[in-house]
């Protein structure tokens, strides 16, 4: 099976583009999650002058949110990855059945 990706594959829909793109999307998402946690943490630092308890709570939530968000994002990307792996296996089965029918006649 040829795993090379060519420009014509963009128009034929025989090969999936998304599995290759998922890794990039994953890292972009992680950067976004980290930025949101950082913004929340900095906002909590600014809130310290008004309410220390609220600021500390927001700091804790931003740190926990960073961990939970990164974990959840990983699970979501893995679910998409499983869908594309299923597609690849079904395509392999289809091709094997086509070859079997073709050689049996």
User: Nearest CA to 61 among 36, 89, 26?
Assistant: 36
* Phi (first) and psi of residue 53, to 5 degrees: -65, -45
pLDDT at 77: 94
More confident residue, 2 or 103: 103
Q: How far apart are CA 71 and CA 85, in angstroms?
A: 21
Q: Is 73 exposed, middle or buried (0-12, 13-18, 19+ CB in 10 A)?
A: middle
Q: Which of 8, 14, 32 is nearest to 94 (CA)?
A: 14
Say if residue 86's pLDDT is above 80.
yes
* 49 and 27 Cβ atoms separated by less than 8 Å: no
Q: What confidence score (pLDDT) does residue 92 get?
A: 85
Whole-prediction pTM value? 0.72
């Amino acid at each position: 099976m040829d795993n090379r990706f060519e420009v014509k594959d963009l128009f034929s829909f025989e090969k999936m583009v998304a599995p290759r793109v998922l890794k990039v999307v994953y890292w972009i998402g992680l950067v976004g999650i980290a930025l949101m946690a950082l913004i929340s943490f900095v906002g909590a630092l600014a809130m310290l002058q008004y309410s220390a308890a609220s600021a500390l709570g927001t700091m804790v939530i931003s740190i926990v949110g960073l961990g939970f968000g990164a974990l959840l994002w990983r699970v979501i990307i893995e679910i998409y990855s499983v869908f594309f792996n299923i597609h690849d296996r079904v395509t392999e089965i289809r091709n094997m059945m086509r070859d079997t029918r073709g050689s049996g006649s």
